Structure 1
Amino acid sequence: MRQPAVAGQFYPLRPENLEKELKQCFEGLEIRERNVLGAICPHAGYVYSGKVAAHVYAALPKADTYVIFGPNHTGYGSPVSVSTDTWKTPLGSLEVDRELADGLSGSIIDLDELGHRYEHSIEVQLPFLQYRFDQDFMILPICLGMQDEETAVEVGNLVAELASKSGKKLAFIASSDFTHYEPANVAREIDNEVIGAILNLDIPGIYDKLYRRNASVCGYGPIAAMLTASKRLGANRAELLKYSNSGDVSGDTSAVVGYAAIIVE
């Protein structure tokens, strides 16, 4: 059982308080399922980025399995790892799609729990999925410590191939924040360039912007893996639903973190 690592920190520990906060995140949003194959969601504390993330989850369709790509912030575990443990949150337990996870055996993606044990980037997405869809789905959590373009594209292709063979309905979620600890105007300028490449579904362009602007986007590998998988399954457009930064909540615009909600159809 993979126990919650950041309940009580990034989001409330008590189920009733968590549901209340999630309800507030969705306030003013219409729940309208779209033909979303992939998405980018932030993974900061809900008070900062929850309302941004809710824009994606309000548009996300029901799927059999949600593949969640997250960056490895901790440095623990394999370079690229999939978890097969049951994941517990304050809202209940979620099963990993073992059929898909076992299908990754022998690839560059290791079956490894250590990379997931203390990592928050995937965990914070799960209560949003539970709030929208109860427990009626499975997950495939993939943590990327190696985020170079070649690795990310290979991971995306592997998962897309499995998805095609399985016949299941899948959706791919990349967990990523954008620019870290720059003044708000600088963060927005850098993020606009990176987001521009994302909206063009241009993976080499994303890496070029990251390099040229020295952009501190933490989940660029998950973004590239998600785009690769989504494109393989027919996605041909992306849309920015919401952009904000931590300063919009805290009032401190001198050093912010950027957050974007993006869907791929």
Structure 2
Amino acid sequence: MSTRETSVAGQFYPSNPDEIQSMLEHYNQILDEHLKENDGVLQLKPRAVIVPHAGYVYSGFTANIALRLLANSDIKRVVIIGPSHRVYLKGTSISEFDTYQTPLGALLIDKPLVADLKERFDIGFVPEAHHEHSTEVQIPFVKTYTPDVSVVELVYGDESAERLSEVIEYLLDDPETAVVISTDLSHYYDIKKANTLDTICLDAVQTLNDTELHQGCEACGKIGLEAMLISAKKNGLRSILLDYRTSADASGDESQVVGYMSAAFVE
């Protein structure tokens, strides 16, 4: 069997499973202390989520809120979609490995769905693209909260939001499939400028206004973000903003920050 090995374990997140579990337990302790049951947030059953992809020290808390919610739904597979940071990519690549390794154990890759998407949407496989951190950092969360699901990894480069939205719409036709969209927000502005730019992204997500993204949103995964908003509107989903923060919340440095958000799309 072929395996999608970890590429950034020990860098973006711990390579030690106990350390991963300790971090997630810490995030959840904070969540449980600050969110009451009657708030309804922890009972959401998202069809799709948006999550960041920095190191866990910076964006793990934000990602955890959204990915934890996947456990509320009766899903059998999770499709993770993220932008390519390491190689130039024309279009989208889909992982053809048999399993996806994590420090917590492996997850099966949904080979029937991979074959279906490859044929239906003419998606190729570029092995070099699948050392991508924007997708990989989500997998330990998926393994923790939905350990029995299969996964599919899609990494896009020079792709159109319209074409990617067709893939997402097809995936959402199956109620047992959840979609994870990976993106960070603005990069390396001071905190005031970052908040201004990120607010454009946040407003677009909350109103499902994909055209607003082109009015100053600087998300690195803007193509995936736009595709998700297009798909959400067509599928009658509503969006709920779960968290927004910047790297300054962890580092204390407000001179150059990166923005992070998480959101859920529910019926």
SS of 1:35's partner is coil
1:230 shift after superposition: 3.6
Q: Is the 8 A contact 2:107 2:151 kept in 1?
A: yes
* Alignment coverage as a number of residue pairs: 252
Alignment partner, residue 110 of structure 1: 124
Alignment partner, residue 263 of structure 1: 264
TM-score (norm 1): 0.88
Alignment partner, residue 15 of structure 1: 17
Alignment partner, residue 196 of structure 1: 203
Q: Give runs of aligned pairs for residues 33-182 of structure 1, distance below 5 A.
A: 33-60=43-70, 61-62=72-73, 63-76=75-88, 78-85=90-97, 86-106=99-119, 107-116=121-130, 118-134=131-147, 136-147=148-159, 151-164=160-173, 167=174, 169-182=176-189
Give CA deviations for 1:210-251 in whole Å, capped at 9, x if unaligned. Answer: xxx3x431111121233334444431x211111110011111
1:188 shift after superposition: 0.7
Structure 2: gaps spanning 5 or more residues? 33-40
2-side partners of 1:25 and 1:219: how far apart?
Answer: 24
2-side partners of 1:153 and 1:25: how far apart?
Answer: 35
**Judging changes above 3 Å, is the alpha-carbon distance between structure 1 residues 246 and 170 closer, same or farther for their aligned structure 2 residues?**
same
1:204 shift after superposition: 2.2
2-side partners of 1:168 and 1:83: how far apart?
Answer: 22
Structure 1: gaps spanning 5 or more residues? none
1:5 shift after superposition: 0.3
2-side partners of 1:225 and 1:49: how far apart?
Answer: 22
1:133 shift after superposition: 1.9
The list of structure 1 runs, each at least 4 consecutive aligned residues, that deviate by more than 4 angstroms after superposition, is none
1:77 shift after superposition: 5.0
1:32 aligns with 2:42: yes
2-side partners of 1:15 and 1:169: how far apart?
Answer: 28
TM-score (norm 2): 0.88
Q: Is the 8 A contact 1:172 1:229 kept in 2?
A: no
Give CA deviations for 1:188-210 in whole Å, capped at 9, x if unaligned. Answer: 1111012111211122222x22x
Q: Is the 8 A contact 1:103 1:162 kept in 2?
A: no
Give CA deviations for 1:148-206 in whole Å, capped at 9, x if unaligned. Answer: xxx22212213422553xx4511111111101000011101111012111211122222
